[in-house]
Amino acid sequence: MRIGVVAVQGAFAEHIAVLERMGISAFEIRQEKDLSGSIDGLILPGGESTVMKKLLRELCLYNPIKELINNGVPVFGTCAGMILLSEIIESGEESCFGTMNVTVKRNAYGRQLGSFRCIEKFDGNDIEMPFIRAPYITEVREDAEVLAVHEGRIVAVRQGNQLATAFHPELTDDNTVFNYFINMIKNRVK
Ligand code: GLN
């Protein structure tokens, strides 16, 4: 299994470290030619979504990545990565891939509460969730399903081949969310 981690900006190294810890082969996606080999899964890390959006276009990664997502390659977006997948951004700014039928609110916890950790259930398991200037989901539509909620706000969603979390599981020792993603890859019907 080969998982590509988009490495144009943000917390990509942390995702690669988790995958290596799990014995899964991971590689960085920095330019179009990095997408030429086989790819079983894709990770969009946290960072700054506006910067990533711009760089993905400039580096000609936007179209090939959108095509992979539309072709059913499992994709996992954390934090800024969740924003990139969301169809609607509440502030009215233009969406990026927009492949998940959800509305997202950026920097949704305000400046004071920008960063915090909590324990909540993800798909039925208690896990630690680190939030960093995080978004949350304000609406899910069509077949997008809610996987985790914190204080009444949606912080993890799944829609077919797409998984997104407002928090950063790559900053904890718990592999629950990554195992969930790996199972999406294993169970993919090609
Ligand atoms: N606030 C960032 C954004 O809007 C996301 C923060 C993160 O990825 N940790 O893009």
- 79 CB within 6 A, ligand 1: yes
| Closest protein CA for atom 2 of ligand 1 | 48
Closest atom of ligand 1 relative to the 168 alpha carbon: 9
**Residues 46, 24 contacting (CB under 8 angstroms):** no
- 47 CB within 6 A, ligand 1: yes
Question: What confidence tens digit (pLDDT) does each residue in 130-149 have?
Answer: 999 999 999 999 999 999 99
Closest atom of ligand 1 relative to the 10 alpha carbon: 8
Question: What confidence tens digit (pLDDT) does each residue in 53-92 have?
Answer: 999 999 999 999 999 999 999 999 999 999 999 999 999 9
Q: Give the tokens for residue 110.
A: 């305000």
**0.85 cut: is pTM over it?**
yes
Query: What pLDDT score was predicted for residue 34?
Result: 97
Report how far residue 14's alpha carbon sits from residue 171's, in angstroms, rounded to the nearest whole number.
Answer: 7
**What's the distance, CA 120 to chain centroid?**
18
Question: What confidence tens digit (pLDDT) does each residue in 161-174 have?
Answer: 999 999 999 999 99
- 83 CB within 6 A, ligand 1: yes
Cα within 13 Å of Cα(128), Cβ side: 9
Report how far residue 83's alpha carbon sits from residue 104's, in angstroms, rounded to the nearest whole number.
Answer: 6
Say how many residues make up the chain.
Answer: 190
